[in-house]
Amino acid sequence: MQAVSPRQGACKRILAVVGTRPEAIKMAPVIRALQSAPWADVRVLATAQHRQMLDQVLDAFGIVPDIDLDIMAPNQTLPELTSRLLSKLDEVFARERPDAVLIQGDTTTVMTAAMAAFYRRIDVGHVEAGLRTGDLHNPFPEEMNRIVAGRLSRWHFAPTEGARDNLLREGFDPASVHVTGNTVIDALLDVVQRDTPLPVEVPEGRRMVLVTAHRRENFGAPFREVCLAIRDLADRHDDVHFVYPVHPNPNVSGPAREILGGHDRITLCPPMDYLPFVAAMKRAHLILTDSGGVQEEAPALGKPVLVMRRETERPEAVEAGVVKLVGPVRDAIVAEVSWLLDEPGAYAGMAKGVSPYGDGHASGRIADILGRDLIG
Q: How many angstroms separate the CA atoms of 346 and 369, rounded?
A: 42
Contact 93, 101 (CB under 8 A): yes
Tell me, what DSSP letter sits at residue 138?
Answer: B
Q: How many residues does this entry show for the chain?
A: 376
**Which string of x and - marks every residue 44-83 that binds ligand UD1 (by CB under 6 A)?**
-----xxxxx------------------xxxxx-x--x--
**Which string of x and - marks every residue 240-259 that binds ligand UDP (by CB under 6 A)?**
-----x--------------
Secondary structure of residue 292 in the 3-state scheme: helix
Q: Does 25 bind ligand UDP (CB under 6 A)?
A: yes
Q: Does 192 bind ligand UDP (CB under 6 A)?
A: no
* Least Cβ distance, residue 298 to ligand UD1 (angstroms): 16
Residues 94, 66, 58, CA angle at the centre, nearest 5°?
Answer: 130
Q: Is 258 designated active site?
A: no
Contacts of ligand UDP in 280-319 (CB under 6 A): 291-294, 297
Contact 80, 102 (CB under 8 A): no
Give 301's Cβ-side CA count (13 Å radius). 27
In the complex with ligand UD1, the residue whose CB is nearer, 8 or 77, is 77
| Positive or negative: CA dihedral 66, 71, 72, 78 | negative
Q: Does 223 bind ligand UDP (CB under 6 A)?
A: no
Q: How many angstroms separate the CA atoms of 105 and 257, rounded?
A: 29
Q: Does 274 bind ligand UDP (CB under 6 A)?
A: yes
Chain residues in the site for ligand UD1 (CB under 6 A): 20-22, 49-53, 72-76, 78, 81, 106-108, 141-142, 214, 248-250
Chain residues in the site for ligand UDP (CB under 6 A): 21-22, 25, 184, 212, 214, 245, 271-272, 274, 277, 291-294, 297
By annotation, the residues acting in catalysis are 106, 128, 142, 214, 216, 247
